[in-house]
A and B are shown apart, each in its own frame.
Chain A
């Protein structure tokens, strides 16, 4: 495999953050960039990385799948978002067989009694991501999902590393 050297003398402070907003997909192959989805609650962040071409992409999906009355934005949903992410990764030059998959998010933010009927959006998002990725023969190598905490997720283009930060805590690797 052809390897690309890491940018020399680069530390986190010198990297450029590319925000992956609600219901968005971002793709980068610039090793000086890091894809960031801030404050994921029940949303999920799915990160794909091709270690050879360094094509890196992240999806910030809100809901598991498109309800009947769609507003036509596939990246808002886990199932259609993953398909679109793969497509954009391919067009940017990634090889599907090499893709490294990590994901984070899918928390249950409402734990108080009386809200049980809303409880499962986070886990439904995670479940949909797991089954969609499995159907595409993509293996998840790392994840931090569930619980009841918000997470900021970073995916580093230079080395494909995914990190998580929760409120009041330091960044840690998945």
Chain B
């Protein structure tokens, strides 16, 4: 567990919070371009969560959610998962498509593809902002979209982190458009030692 404590020491965390804030704002700009209208984002809250406590933070492991998953490769590597509980995902589709609230009642092919595009743009802008502010090159993979129980979405992280990563950086943001808002969560899971270059730049 020492590895994780080193990874998320206070200095690294405050640096990451700053970088993630820039990342989220940049991501919203990306979404605004996607929908052709201006969206705003509330000041994102950032904290470190234990992997095992995540399901309860998002409505329990059996609650259904949409997960948009990307891997980041490059000098800084890791995983990023945008998680939106299903009811919020429906609201988000309405928001994206400019439908009256409550129009979307299920996630069909079109809705999933809209969410995938949203996730792709959000995560790419997010990673670009981190890349720009740290000077480290990061390449995002294409996104994978999963609609299932939160527990099973979390398994993706558990399995790919090889069980060694016990903590994730959780970013909670609210997107707003014309007074309508909806929340999204990001889980950022850096690979082992992924932060070392960023920490080095602070000196």
Contacts and interface: CB of A to CB of B under 8 A. Distances in A.
Nearest to B142: A114
B154 A41 contact: yes
A150 B149 CA distance: 6
A71 B71 CA distance: 25
Contacts of B163: 62-63, 67, 71, 76-77
A69 B152 contact: no
Interface stretch (A50-58, A79-87, A93-101, A104-112): A104-112
B181 interface: no
Contacts of A69: 164
A73 to B, nearest CB: 9
Contact of A150 (B52, B143, B145, B152): B152
Interface residues on B, range: 20 to 34
A21 to B, nearest CB: 7
A32 interface: no
B141 interface: yes
A167 B148 contact: yes
B69 A39 contact: no
A149 B152 contact: yes
B162 to A, nearest CB: 6
B144 A150 contact: no
B52 A42 contact: no
Contact of A41 (B60, B142, B145, B148): B148
B161 to A, nearest CB: 10
A151 interface: yes
A41 B156 CA distance: 8
Interface of chain B, helix or strand or loop or mixed? mixed
A111 B144 CA distance: 8
B45 interface: no
Contacts of A59: none
B149 A38 contact: yes
B87 interface: no
Nearest to A122: B159
B22 interface: no
A152 interface: yes
Interface string A97-137: 00000000001011111110010011000000000000000
B142 A113 contact: yes
A118 B159 contact: yes
A39 B152 contact: yes
Contacts of B152: 39-42, 107, 109, 149-151
A26 B61 CA distance: 17
B142 to A, nearest CB: 6
19 contacts: A22-B158, A38-B61, A38-B151, A39-B155, A40-B151, A41-B151, A41-B154, A42-B159, A62-B163, A71-B1, A71-B163, A71-B164, A71-B166, A112-B142, A112-B143, A115-B141, A121-B160, A165-B62, A167-B149
Interface of B: 1, 51-52, 55, 60-62, 64, 69, 71, 141-156, 158-160, 162-164, 166
Given A40-B151, A41-B152, A112-B69, 7 more contacts: A43-B155, A63-B162, A109-B156, A115-B144, A118-B160, A152-B151, A168-B64
